[in-house]
Structure 1
Amino acid sequence: MDRFAAPVSAQIWDMKYRLKSPEGAPIDATVEDSWSRVAQALASVEADPAAWTPRFHAALEDFRFLPAGRILAGAGADRSVTLFNCFVMGTVPDSLEGIFAHLREAALTMQQGGGIGYDFSTIRPKGAPVRGVAADASGPLSFMDVWDAMCRTIMSAGARRGAMMATLRCDHPDVLDFIDAKRDPVRLRNFNLSVLATDPFMAAVEADGPWELAFDGRVYRTLPARDLWNAMMRATYDVAEPGVIFIDRINALNNLSYCETIAATNPCGEQPLPPYGACLLGSINLARLVPEPFAEGAALDEAALEGLTADAVRMMDNVVDASRFPLPQQAAEARAKRRIGLGVTGLADALLMVGERYGSEGAAALTGRWMALISRAAYRASARIAGEKGAFPLYDRDAILAAPHVAALDDETRALIAENGLRNALLTSIAPTGTISLYAGNVSSGVEPIFAASYTRKVLQKDGGRTEEEVVDYAVARWRALRGRDAPLPAWFVDAQTLSPADHVRMQAAAQAHVDSSISKTINCPADIDFESFKDVYGLAYASGCKGCTTYRPNAVTGSVLSLTADAPAEASAGVVAAVSPAAEDAAPTREAATGGDVVYMARPLERPEALPGATYKLKWPDSAHAIYITLNDVIVGGRRRPFEIFINSKNMEHYAWTVALTRMISAVFRRGGDVSFVVEELKAVFDPRGGAWMGGRYVPSILAAIGGVIERHLVEIGFLEGEGLGLKTDPEAQAVRVGERPGGPGCPACGSTNLHMTEGCATCGDCGFSKCSG
Structure 2
Amino acid sequence: VIESPKELFTRVAVHVSLPDIIYDKRVSKKKKTAGVAVLEGEIIGNEKAVALEGFLKIGKFSLNRFHIKALYKMFFRLEKEGRAKVSWEKLLQMLKKNQFKEHEKTIEKFYGIMVSRRFLPNTPTIANFGNYLGMGSACFALEINDSIDSIMDTLKKASIIFKAGGGLGYNFSQLRAEGDYIRTTGGTSSGPLIFMRLFDTMTEVIKQGGIRRGANMGIMDSNHPDIEKFVTAKSGNKSLKNFNISVMIMPDFWEYYKKNKPYPLVSPRTGEVVSHISPRFLLDRIAYQSWESGEPGVIFSDRVNEHNPFFKSLGPIKTTNPCGEVLLYPNESCNLGSLNVWSFLKSDSKEKKSIDWERLEKAIRIAVRFLDNVIDINVFPLSEIEKMSLNTRKIGLGVMGVGSLMYDLEIPFNSQKARNLMEKIIEFINYYSKAESVEIAKKRGSFPYYEKSFFPDGKLPFAGFYDKKSWSLDWSKLVKEIKKFGIRNSYTTVIAPTGSISMIAGCSSGIEPLFSLAFEKNVSVGSFYYIDPVFERAMLREGLFDEMLVRDVVVNNGSITKISYIPPRFKKIFVAAHDISPEDHVKTLASFQKWVDSSISKTNNFPFEAVVEDVKKTYLLAYESGCKAVTVFRDKSISDQVLVTVNKKNDKRSSKFGKDDLIKMTDVKAEGPAVYRDPSVPPS
TM-score (norm 1): 0.66
CA contact (8 A) 1:121 1:167 kept: yes
Distance in 2, Cα, partners of 1:411 & 1:436: 35
Distance in 1, Cα, partners of 2:210 & 2:375: 20
**How far apart are residue 186 of structure 1 and its match?**
2.2
Deviates more, 1:111-120 or 1:289-298: 289-298
Distance in 2, Cα, partners of 1:374 & 1:69: 21
Q: Which residue of 2 aligns with 1:340?
A: 395
CA contact (8 A) 2:310 2:452 kept: no
Residue 470 (str. 1) matches residue 529 (str. 2): yes
CA contact (8 A) 1:127 1:138 kept: yes
Unpaired segments ≥5 residues, structure 1: 1-19, 21-25, 460-464, 567-572, 574-775
Q: Which residue of 1 aligns with 2:450?
A: 395
Where do residues 452-491 of structure 1 align in structure 2 (5 Å cutoff)? 452-459=516-523, 465-479=524-538, 486=545, 490-491=570-571
- Pair 1:485–1:293, CA change in 2 (3 A): farther
Distance in 2, Cα, partners of 1:364 & 1:239: 29
Distance in 2, Cα, partners of 1:166 & 1:558: 22
- Pair 1:531–1:379, CA change in 2 (3 A): same
Distance in 1, Cα, partners of 2:342 & 2:544: 20
CA contact (8 A) 2:222 2:248 kept: yes
- Pair 1:263–1:398, CA change in 2 (3 A): closer
Residue 239 (str. 1) matches residue 293 (str. 2): yes
Residue 116 (str. 1) matches residue 171 (str. 2): no
Residue 38 (str. 1) matches residue 6 (str. 2): no
Q: Which residue of 1 aligns with 2:363?
A: 308
Residue 531 (str. 1) matches residue 590 (str. 2): no
CA contact (8 A) 2:140 2:321 kept: yes
Distance in 1, Cα, partners of 2:167 & 2:209: 11
CA contact (8 A) 1:293 1:354 kept: no
**How far apart are residue 110 of structure 1 and its match?**
1.1
Distance in 2, Cα, partners of 1:298 & 1:346: 16
**How far apart are residue 379 of structure 1 and its match?**
0.3
Aligned-partner SS, 1:199: coil
**How far apart are residue 160 of structure 1 and its match?**
2.5
Residue 197 (str. 1) matches residue 267 (str. 2): no
1:375 pairs with 403, 408, 430, which one? 430
- Pair 1:458–1:440, CA change in 2 (3 A): farther
**Cα deviations across residues 542-599 of structure 1 (Å, max 9, x unaligned)?**
0010000001113565568854369xxxxxx9xxxxxxxxxxxxxxxxxxxxxxxxxx
Distance in 2, Cα, partners of 1:294 & 1:186: 58
**Cα deviations across residues 122-155 of structure 1 (Å, max 9, x unaligned)?**
0000010111212111100000010010000001
**How far apart are residue 306 of structure 1 and its match?**
1.2
**How far apart are residue 252 of structure 1 and its match?**
2.0
Amino acid at match of 1:494: V
Distance in 1, Cα, partners of 2:305 & 2:496: 19
CA contact (8 A) 1:81 1:112 kept: no
- Pair 1:294–1:327, CA change in 2 (3 A): farther
Q: Which residue of 2 aligns with 1:166?
A: 218
Distance in 2, Cα, partners of 1:224 & 1:76: 54
CA-based RMSD of the aligned residues comes to: 2.4
Deviates more, 1:317-326 or 1:46-55: 46-55
**How far apart are residue 478 of structure 1 and its match?**
4.8
Number of aligned residue pairs: give it.
Answer: 534
1:82 pairs with 111, 135, 154, which one? 135
1:517 pairs with 598, 609, 617, which one? 598
**Cα deviations across residues 111-131 of structure 1 (Å, max 9, x unaligned)?**
111110000000000010111
Aligned-partner SS, 1:356: coil
Amino acid at match of 1:242: P
Q: Which residue of 2 aligns with 1:299?
A: 354
**How far apart are residue 41 of structure 1 and its match?**
1.2
Deviates more, 1:245-254 or 1:557-566: 557-566
- Pair 1:347–1:130, CA change in 2 (3 A): same
- Pair 1:435–1:256, CA change in 2 (3 A): same
Amino acid at match of 1:87: F
- Pair 1:477–1:258, CA change in 2 (3 A): farther
CA contact (8 A) 1:294 1:354 kept: no
**How far apart are residue 481 of structure 1 and its match?**
6.8
Distance in 2, Cα, partners of 1:557 & 1:278: 30
Q: Which residue of 1 aligns with 2:489?
A: 424
**How far apart are residue 417 of structure 1 and its match?**
1.4
**How far apart are residue 86 of structure 1 and its match?**
1.9
**Cα deviations across residues 24-76 of structure 1 (Å, max 9, x unaligned)?**
xx2x2x21222222211111221353231111122113211111111111111
Distance in 2, Cα, partners of 1:551 & 1:49: 46
Q: Which residue of 1 aligns with 2:329?
A: 274
CA contact (8 A) 1:36 1:57 kept: yes
Amino acid at match of 1:510: S
**How far apart are residue 228 of structure 1 and its match?**
1.2
Q: Which residue of 2 aligns with 1:550?
A: 631
2:273 pairs with 207, 219, 229, which one? 219
CA contact (8 A) 2:589 2:602 kept: yes
Aligned-partner SS, 2:347: coil
- Pair 1:557–1:309, CA change in 2 (3 A): closer
CA contact (8 A) 1:522 1:550 kept: yes
Q: Which residue of 1 aligns with 2:477?
A: 412
Distance in 2, Cα, partners of 1:484 & 1:317: 48
Aligned-partner SS, 1:471: strand
- Pair 1:44–1:356, CA change in 2 (3 A): same
Distance in 2, Cα, partners of 1:318 & 1:428: 16
**How far apart are residue 298 of structure 1 and its match?**
2.2
- Pair 1:33–1:81, CA change in 2 (3 A): closer
Distance in 2, Cα, partners of 1:127 & 1:318: 48
CA contact (8 A) 1:294 1:353 kept: no
Distance in 2, Cα, partners of 1:397 & 1:148: 35
Q: Which residue of 2 aligns with 1:506?
A: 587
Distance in 2, Cα, partners of 1:187 & 1:466: 35
Q: Which residue of 2 aligns with 1:444?
A: 508
Amino acid at match of 2:205: T
Distance in 2, Cα, partners of 1:507 & 1:76: 38
Q: Which residue of 1 aligns with 2:35?
A: none
CA contact (8 A) 2:301 2:628 kept: yes
1:107 pairs with 155, 159, 164, which one? 159
Residue 130 (str. 1) matches residue 194 (str. 2): no
**How far apart are residue 81 of structure 1 and its match?**
4.4
**How far apart are residue 294 of structure 1 and its match?**
13
Where do residues 2-17 of structure 1 align in structure 2 (5 Å cutoff)? none
CA contact (8 A) 2:163 2:210 kept: no
Q: Which residue of 2 aligns with 1:564?
A: 646
Distance in 1, Cα, partners of 2:230 & 2:372: 37
- Pair 1:451–1:263, CA change in 2 (3 A): same
CA contact (8 A) 1:43 1:318 kept: yes
Distance in 1, Cα, partners of 2:406 & 2:227: 40
CA contact (8 A) 1:337 1:424 kept: yes
CA contact (8 A) 1:407 1:414 kept: no
Distance in 2, Cα, partners of 1:158 & 1:456: 30
Distance in 2, Cα, partners of 1:294 & 1:484: 24
Distance in 2, Cα, partners of 1:35 & 1:479: 33
**Cα deviations across residues 605-644 of structure 1 (Å, max 9, x unaligned)?**
xxxxxxxxxxxxxxxxxxxxxxxxxxxxxxxxxxxxxxxx
Aligned-partner SS, 2:313: coil
CA contact (8 A) 1:86 1:114 kept: yes
Amino acid at match of 2:189: A
What percentage of aligned pairs have identical amino acids?
Answer: 33
**Cα deviations across residues 213-263 of structure 1 (Å, max 9, x unaligned)?**
111223221122111111111111122111000112212212232433311
Amino acid at match of 1:308: A
Amino acid at match of 2:281: D
Aligned-partner SS, 1:176: helix
CA contact (8 A) 2:461 2:491 kept: no
